[in-house]
Chain A
Amino acid sequence: MCLETQVLIIGGGVTGTGLARDLALRGVQSILVEKKDLNAGASGANHGLLHSGGRYVASDPETAAECRKEGDILKQVAAGCIEDTGGLFVAVEGDDEKYIADFPHLCSRSGIPVRALDPSEAREFEPALNSKIIAVYEVEDASIDPFKLNLENMDHAQALGSRLLRHTEVMAFDRNRKRIQRVRLRNTKTGEDILVEPEQVVNAAGAWARKVAAFAGAPIDMIYSKGSLLITDTRLTTRVVNRLRPASDGDILVPGGTVSLLGTTSIRINSPDDIRPTVEEINAITDYGSAMVPALQKTRFIRAYSGVRPLIGTQSGQGDRSVRRSFALFDHIQDGLENFVTITGGKLTTYRYMAEKTADLVCSRLGVSAPCVTRTEPLPSSETSQWTEPGRAPREWIKNKNPEDIILCECEMVPRSVIDSIITSLRDKDDSVDLRAIGLRSRIGKGLCQGAFCGIRITAYMFDEGELNADEGLINLREFLNGRWKGIRPVLWGASLIQEELQEAIHCGLFGLEL
C-alpha cells in the first residue's frame, strides 16, 4: 500500500492532532500516524492544568506569558474541555520569604493577573488547606481534560478530511538528497507495511521526537524527565492549589471533575519507553503535597501514572526543573532537509500556539497562504470525545432515563450506549476495537474497581455483540488488567490493597487468568 498526502504528521498527542486540525482548517490535508493510540504519550499522562503562567514567572517568564495568552484563548475556543476553577499559590511556614514577596511583581512582569488573599479568608473557601499557610495569591489557573481536548481536535480534523492511522509506527525514512521521499510505516497490530509519499513531514512525536528525527539523520539535543502523579478518590479542593516556591516535587493539586490530581516528580531517565510510577515517588509527593493539604496523608488514592517531558537543549547542566518549558520548532534546514519539521516540548496549555507556528511553516513551504483560524474558531465537541469527562456518562444516563441502557461500568456509571457509541465510531473509522481503546475514550476501569468488574462485564458484552471472538476476549482482558496495573501498583495500601486482593481473587484465584 502506498498513500499520498500533503502532510504526514507523526504523533497522536495534542500537538499532532492540534496541527492536523489547524492544517485542515486551512484546507491542507494530512495523515496523522500514531504508533499506539491517541493520548498514549504525555497528552494522556499530564496534570491537566491550564496554566495561568504563575508557575513559570521566575524561571521562564517567556513561557509564563505564553501560558497566560493561550489560557485565555482556550477558555474561549475550547470551553467544553475546561473547568474554570481558578487557582491559588500558597506558602507554608518555612518557605522562602523572598520568593513570596517577589511573586506579585514577577506575575505582573509577565502580564499575569494576581491577587493577594488573607490566609484565613482562603481557608474559608478552601477548608482543606493547611492551617499553617502564611501567604496566598489567587491566579487564573483552570483544569482541562486533555483526553477530550485531543480527541476533539482529531475528530474535527477528520471531519474536515484528514486521516488518522492508529497503531501505525514510523519505521524509517527514504531520503532522496534534501527530501524525505517516502516514509515507511508498520501497523503494530497486523505487522502490515505501509508506504506514504508526503510533501511535508512533521515530527510531533513528543518525547520520541529525537528518535524519529534520528531516522532522518537529524540530531536533536534532548533529555527525558519523568513525572508521576496521583489520583485521589474524591475531589479535595475547588481550585487548583500550587505551592508558592520555585517549582519542585508534589507541589500542585489540580481538581478534575470528581477527583483531584497530585503531582509531580521530575526524574531524569534514559529512555521514554516503559515508564511507571514508583513507590518512592508516590511516598515523596504524598509527603510534600500534604504540606499544602494535610488530608492527603489519609486520602485514598485510586491510581498513579507517569508521563515523560522532553527537555530540549540541556547541555548547561542545571537542574531539569530550570530548563525552559517553552517549545522547540526545528526546520532541519541545517540538517540538509527541506520537507521535515520537528515540533516538541512545550505545554498542553500552549499546544494551539505550537500547532499554529508549525502550520505556518509547513504552509509557507507548501505555498498555502490561508491564515490560522484556531484562535477564534471554536472546537466542536463530538459524539465520541465526550465520555472521558468524569461524571459525564452518568449525567447523560440519568437525563435520558432509558431503562434498556444498562450500566456496564458501575464505579463510573458508564452505560451500554456509551460503549456502543465508542465502538461504532472506532468501526466507522476502520479501527480496531478493544478494551484498551474503549478505556482511552471513556471512564471504564478508572473507578474504584480499576477494571476488575467492568473488564469482565464489557468483555462479555463485546462477545455478545460479536466484537470479540475466540481467544481475543482473554488476551484483551489480560492486556487491559496489566495496563491498569502499572498505575495501581504504587498506591496499594489501605482500601486500595483490599480492592486489589478482591481483583486478584477473581481473576487469578477463580478464573486462573495468569495460567
Chain B
Amino acid sequence: MEHFETKLTVIGTGMTGMAATLFAANRGIDTVLVGSTSEIMFASGFIDLLGVHPIHERKSWKNPWQGIAEVRRDIPNHPYARMDETDIRTAFDQALSFLKDAGLPYLRRNEQNCRAVTSLGTLKSTYCIPHTMWAGVEALEEKSPCLLVDFRGLKGFSARQIAAVLQHEWPNLRTVRISFPEMEHMEEVYTEALARNLSMEHNRVKLAEVIRPHVKGSVYVGLPAILGISSSYEVACDISDKIGAKVFEIPTMPPSVPGLRLKEAFEEQFPLRGVRPFFQKQVLNVHNGPGGEFKLDIGGDTTEFGVKTDGIIMASGRFLGGGLRADRHQIRETIFGLPVTQPSDRRLWHRRSFLDSRGHPVNRCGLEIDDEFRPLDKSGHPAYPNLFAAGSVLAHQDWMRMKCGSGLAIATAYKAVKAYSQMNERPVGP
C-alpha cells in the first residue's frame, strides 16, 4: 500500500470539491483530491448564484447580490450568511478565470442574472453562462428571428416543444428537425457522441451544410448542447461562421455535455497545478493521528492508499453524492458520523405535493457549521479544529429551489479554503 502526506485533502469531486481544490492550488497549498461520481455530470453548465428567495413567494431576483443580502437577513444560518460578499465575488472571479484558462469561458453580467431557454421551454434565470450559450440570452432579449434545430433520434429534446411553450414570449422561433450527418442510419443518437463528433472540423462542415438552407432570415440558431467537449468555444464560433448565424446551445436533460466539460476541465488542469487527484476513489476510513492530523484509507472497494493530512475539506455532497445517507428512520453523515440537522421524523421530510413551492424540509437538512465553516459536533462545538465543510452537504440551504447550486459550491469552497489557511497562520497550541 502506498502512503502519502499532504497539507490538505479535499473529499469530493463535485463542483464544491473541484472549486475547493482550485482555490487551494491558487494559494499554493499542497492538496490531495479524492472522490467519485458527483452531480457535476448531470449539471446543466449554468452557474447559479441566487435565483429565488423566499422560495414560497417564488420571488425571482434580477440582481443576485441583492437577493443574497435578503437571504442573509431572513436565514441567518444559510451558508451565504456566514461569508462576505467580497469573498463570494473573489471566489467567482477566480473560478471563472480558471475556466477561461481551461478553455471553457463563461460570461455574466456582474450585477444581474440573465435568462436562458431550457430544453423544456422554460426560462431559467442564472448568473454565469457558458460562452457557447450566451447568444441565446441575447436572442431571447431581442426576440430576434431564431431557428431551433433538433436531431432525429435525440430523445427528450424537441425544438417544436420549445417553440410551442415559448410562442407568446418569443414568437419569432422556427424549428427544423435534421438527421445528424453520417448518423442518418442511427435510430438513436446521444449528446456525448454528437459532441465528440463535432470536435472534428470536417464534421462541422457537414453539419453546417445541412443546417444552412434552413436558416433563411434567422439571425440566431439554437442547438442542443453538443458543440464539442474540450474546445466548445472554438467549435461554437466555427459553426457560427460556417452557418452564417449566431449559434447557441440549449442545456439538455442529463446526461449533459456541459457538465462533462466542467468535469474534464478540472480533471485535466489539476495535475498541471500540482494537485494529487484520486478520481473514482473513496475515503473508506478516517483515523485520528496523535498530533491532531488525520489518516485516511483511500481506495475503490478496499484500501489502496494511505494519506496523512493536516486538514480536510469535506465536499461530500448530499444523497446523490453520498455525503448523506438516509435509512427508514434517520439521516446520517457518512464519513465522520457528524450530527445532521434534520426534521424529527420521516413524515416531515417531504411535503404532500412534489412541486410545493415551500420546498421539502429534507433538502435543508445537513451539517451545522461555525463561521469558519467547521462542522459542529453534538455539543455545538467544532468537531475538529482542522475539519471544514462546504457545498451542498451544509444545512439550511435548498439549492434546487433557491437556484444557487454551483454558486453555493464555489462560494463556500472558497470560504472553507480561506478558513483552512487562516488556521495554519494561527500559532499552534492552546
Q: Identify the A interface with B (CB < 8 A).
A: 276, 278-280, 283, 286, 403-406, 408, 453, 456-457, 459-461, 463-464, 468-471, 473-474, 477-478, 481-482, 484-485, 489, 492-494, 497-498, 501-502, 504-515
Cα–Cα distance between A510 and B327 once the two chains are bound (Å): 27
A to B CB contacts below 8 Å, 9 in the list? A473-B161, A474-B121, A493-B326, A493-B327, A494-B325, A494-B327, A504-B354, A507-B355, A510-B118
Q: Quick one: closest A residue to B320, CB to CB?
A: A501
Q: Which of B124, B157, B158, B362 contacts A510 (CB 8 A)?
A: B124
Q: Identify the B interface with A (CB < 8 A).
A: 39, 42-44, 46, 52, 58, 60, 118-125, 153, 155-158, 160-161, 164-165, 167, 177, 187-188, 251, 253-254, 318-320, 325-328, 345-347, 349-350, 352-357, 360, 362-363, 399-401, 403, 405
Given the known interface contacts A279-B346, A406-B187, A506-B42, the answer about A460 and B355 at a Cβ–Cβ threshold of 8 Å is no
Q: Quick one: closest A residue to B45, CB to CB?
A: A510
In the complex, chain A residues whose CB is within 8 Å of the CB of B347: 278-280
A interface: dominant SS: helix
Whether the pair B319, A497 counts as a contact (CB closer than 8 A) is: yes
Q: Quick one: closest B residue to A279, CB to CB?
A: B347
Q: Quick one: closest B residue to A274, CB to CB?
A: B352
Cα–Cα distance between A408 and B124 once the two chains are bound (Å): 25
Given contacts A286-B328, A498-B319, A509-B400, 20 further A-B contacts (CB under 8 A): A278-B347, A279-B347, A283-B328, A405-B187, A456-B119, A456-B253, A460-B157, A460-B158, A471-B165, A473-B161, A474-B165, A481-B355, A484-B354, A497-B362, A501-B318, A501-B319, A501-B363, A510-B251, A513-B122, A514-B356
Q: Which of B122, B157, B319, B354 contacts A512 (CB 8 A)?
A: B122
Given the known interface contacts A493-B327, A509-B400, the answer about A474 and B122 at a Cβ–Cβ threshold of 8 Å is yes
Q: Quick one: closest B residue to A513, CB to CB?
A: B355
Whether the pair B350, A489 counts as a contact (CB closer than 8 A) is: yes
Cα–Cα distance between A283 and B330 once the two chains are bound (Å): 13
Which of B121, B122, B157, B354 neighbours the largest number of chain A CB atoms within 10 Å of its CB? B354
Q: A481 CB to closest chain B CB, in angstroms?
A: 5
In the complex, chain A residues whose CB is within 8 Å of the CB of B58: 514-515
Which of A276, A408, A492 neighbours the largest number of chain B CB atoms within 10 Å of its CB? A492
Whether the pair A492, B158 counts as a contact (CB closer than 8 A) is: no
Whether the pair A508, B400 counts as a contact (CB closer than 8 A) is: yes
In the complex, chain B residues whose CB is within 8 Å of the CB of A485: 353-354
Whether the pair B355, A514 counts as a contact (CB closer than 8 A) is: yes
Cα–Cα distance between A459 and B401 once the two chains are bound (Å): 23
In the complex, chain B residues whose CB is within 8 Å of the CB of A494: 325-328
Given the known interface contacts A464-B158, A513-B355, the answer about A470 and B164 at a Cβ–Cβ threshold of 8 Å is yes
Whether the pair B155, A457 counts as a contact (CB closer than 8 A) is: yes
Whether the pair B165, A514 counts as a contact (CB closer than 8 A) is: no
Whether the pair A493, B121 counts as a contact (CB closer than 8 A) is: no
Cα–Cα distance between A477 and B253 once the two chains are bound (Å): 14
Q: B353 CB to closest chain A CB, in angstroms?
A: 6
Whether the pair A489, B122 counts as a contact (CB closer than 8 A) is: no
Given the known interface contacts A501-B319, A508-B355, A514-B401, the answer about A463 and B160 at a Cβ–Cβ threshold of 8 Å is yes
Whether the pair A515, B167 counts as a contact (CB closer than 8 A) is: no
In the complex, chain A residues whose CB is within 8 Å of the CB of B401: 508, 514
Whether the pair B346, A460 counts as a contact (CB closer than 8 A) is: no
Q: A29 CB to closest chain B CB, in angstroms?
A: 40
Whether the pair A493, B399 counts as a contact (CB closer than 8 A) is: no
In the complex, chain B residues whose CB is within 8 Å of the CB of A508: 355, 400-401
Q: Which of B157, B177, B320, B328 contacts A502 (CB 8 A)?
A: B320
Cα–Cα distance between A404 and B153 once the two chains are bound (Å): 9
Whether the pair A460, B161 counts as a contact (CB closer than 8 A) is: yes
In the complex, chain A residues whose CB is within 8 Å of the CB of B400: 504-505, 508-509
Given the known interface contacts A474-B122, A474-B165, A502-B320, the answer about A461 and B158 at a Cβ–Cβ threshold of 8 Å is yes
Cα–Cα distance between A206 and B192 once the two chains are bound (Å): 51
